[in-house]
Amino acid sequence: MSKPPPPSDGEVWFDILPKPPRPFGEQTEADIAAWMDDCVVAAQAAFDAGNTHDKNALNALEWLWRPDTWPYGPNMRSRLQHIRGALFRRIDTLAAYKREDEANARIQQQRQANLELRRSKGWA
């Protein structure tokens, strides 16, 4: 029996991401940047909770940036390229820190298991 196809990006992200501030024409770059940041936070929280069909904050930001999804028009889209880049870098950095923390936790568990084994065998 085949499993159903995954939902479209729109079906995933429209329910998870916060709605853009309105009216569209009256928002400043700072307002839109804050909204984009909120979207990244919401997408990552939903991914961590397992509610995004394996799509993470990077996928959400890519979807949000598509011309057919972006609500603020091409001029504001081009003016906010640097914000988009900063968000991508932040997501990458947080992913790297998470991997490092997980690796450090595994190392600490292995050291603890090794120490317990050495103690039980009289080597420590």
Q: Record the tokens describing residue 30, joined without a space.
A: 């700072």
Residue-wise pLDDT tens digits, 2-33:
788 888 999 999 999 999 988 888 889 999 99
Name the one residue in this structure whose structure tokens are 């889209």: 77
User: Residue 1 pLDDT more than 70?
Assistant: no
Would the CA dihedral through 34, 40, 43, 44 be positive or negative?
Answer: negative
pTM equals 0.76
Say if 99 falls within a structural domain.
yes
CB-based contacts of 123: which residues, under 8 Å, 6+ apart?
A: none
For residue 102, the enclosing domain spans 10-17+27-120
Residue 3 lies in a domain: no
Q: Does 58 reside within a domain?
A: yes
* Helix, strand, coil percent content, the chain, rounded in steps of 5: 70, 0, 30
Longest dimension (CA), the chain: 73
Please count the structural domains in the chain: 1
pLDDT, tens only, 95-110: 899 899 999 999 999 9
Say what the pLDDT of residue 9 is: 92
- Residue 2 lies inside a defined structural domain of this protein: no
